[in-house]
């Protein structure tokens, strides 16, 4: 079982600095770090040192794991109940973005196309956790957090990777979309990843993160956190819906001895990162 300590280890300026350099060389000069991880050393403090003992590292790192949350009894991310749904109102929007993610991951991205290839080169041969660390640090350092109203004049705009990179900015789901693209290019299978829209009860906001499913739990890549975390270590995060490769789910909680209860929000109207609850 992977534990939080395994992914929250000692800081590594080498990984963090390299991840930042990969993007600084490839995005407009106005790009900067963002969110609580945006301080002068914020993302560096959360980067993780590569293990020098490769055999010991491989023995304790989780492997890729397809997301198997297709029934009401399946455990979902953040210890939720995940219910597979079809014809979700957000699906059409997601399909457009998902197509562009796949294009960028395959090398047909247009603007800043070399960014993901350089990350993939640095991640080559690394464990899954190391890939997640590199990508989380690099993307958090690559673009500035900006609201959709500021960038696009809309309440909620799900940007393609090209849009976010060309503007050197985006909100929380745009960070997650870039991270999904980078991990795909680095060889992480699409069916191990999902974009999770959630309620952050600690801050009182809607938010979005990238979840990577492993045999030992879900890794969470978050633009408000320098470090990669396990979903079990983020009790304030209450998932509402998630989107993966050709699949989507709504998430609920289970009452003591009772059935699963879906969340009661108007899910299609939620705008992650665009204000308080």
- pLDDT tens track for 41-90: 222 222 233 333 333 333 334 666 665 443 334 468 998 988 888 877 78
| Of the candidates 277, 15, 70, the residue with the CA atom closest to the CA atom of residue 194 | 70
Q: How far is it, in rounded angstroms, from Cα 206 to Cα 194?
A: 17
Q: Which of 7-16, 190-199, 233-242, 263-272 has the lowest mean pLDDT?
A: 7-16
Tell me which of 270 and 74 has the higher pLDDT. 270
Note the pLDDT tens digit of each residue in 240-262.
Answer: 999 998 788 988 887 666 556 55
Pairing of strands 237-244, 247-254: antiparallel
Looking at residue 229, its pLDDT comes to 96
Looking at residue 84, its pLDDT comes to 86
Residue 89 CA to chain centroid, in angstroms? 21
Tell me which of 180 and 86 has the higher pLDDT. 180
Most confident of 3-7, 65-69, 144-148: 144-148
Q: Which of 41-50, 56-65, 147-156, 170-179 has the lowest mean pLDDT?
A: 41-50
Q: Residue with structure tokens 């979700």?
A: 88
Confidence of residue 14 (pLDDT cuts 50, 70, 90): very low
Q: Residue with structure tokens 């991880």?
A: 37
Tell me which of 88 and 99 has the higher pLDDT. 99
Looking at residue 38, its pLDDT comes to 35
User: What one-character DSSP code corresponds to residue 276?
Assistant: B
* pLDDT of 35 strictly over 80: no
Fold of 4-269: C8orf32 fold (3.10.620)
Confidence of residue 237 (pLDDT cuts 50, 70, 90): very high
Q: How far is it, in rounded angstroms, from Cα 175 to Cα 199?
A: 17
Looking at residue 75, its pLDDT comes to 61
What's the token pair of residue 43? Answer: 């993302």
* pLDDT of 183 strictly over 50: yes
What's the token pair of residue 193? Answer: 């990843």
Task: Give the DSSP H/E element, type plus range, for residue 183.
Answer: helix 172-185
Q: How far is it, in rounded angstroms, from Cα 250 to Cα 71?
A: 11
Average pLDDT of the chain is 74
The structure's pTM equals 0.75
What DSSP assignment string belongs to 76-113? Answer: EGGGEEEEEESS-TTHHHHHHHHHHHHHHHTT---TTT
Q: Residue with structure tokens 């609580």?
A: 36
Looking at residue 268, its pLDDT comes to 63
């Amino acid at each position: 079982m992977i534990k939080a300590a395994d992914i929250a280890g000692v800081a590594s300026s080498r990984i963090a600095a390299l991840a930042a350099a990969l993007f600084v060389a490839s995005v407009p000069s106005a790009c900067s770090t963002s969110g609580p991880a945006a301080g002068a050393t914020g993302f560096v403090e959360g980067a993780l040192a590569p293990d020098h003992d490769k055999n010991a590292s491989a023995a304790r790192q989780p492997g890729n794991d397809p997301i198997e949350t297709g029934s009401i009894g399946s455990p979902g991310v953040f210890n939720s109940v995940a219910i597979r749904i079809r014809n979700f109102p957000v699906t059409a929007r997601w399909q457009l973005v998902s197509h562009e993610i796949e294009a960028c991951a395959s090398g047909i991205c247009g603007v800043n196309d070399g960014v993901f290839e350089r990350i993939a080169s640095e991640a080559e041969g690394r464990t899954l956790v190391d890939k997640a660390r590199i990508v989380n640090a690099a993307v958090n350092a690559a673009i500035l957090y900006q609201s959709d109203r500021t960038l696009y004049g809309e309440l909620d705009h799900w940007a393609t990777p090209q849009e976010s990179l060309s503007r050197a900015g985006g909100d929380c789901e745009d960070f997650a979309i870039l991270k999904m693209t980078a991990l795909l290019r680095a060889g992480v299978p699409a069916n191990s990843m999902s974009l999770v829209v959630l309620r952050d009860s600690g801050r009182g906001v809607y938010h979005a993160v990238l979840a990577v499913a492993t045999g030992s739990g879900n890794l969470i890549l978050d633009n408000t956190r320098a470090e990669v975390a396990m979903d079990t270590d983020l009790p304030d995060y209450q998932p509402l819906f998630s989107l993966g490769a050709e699949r989507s789910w709504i998430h609920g909680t289970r009452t003591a001895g009772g059935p699963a209860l879906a969340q009661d929000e108007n899910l299609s109207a939620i705008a992650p990162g665009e204000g308080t609850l």
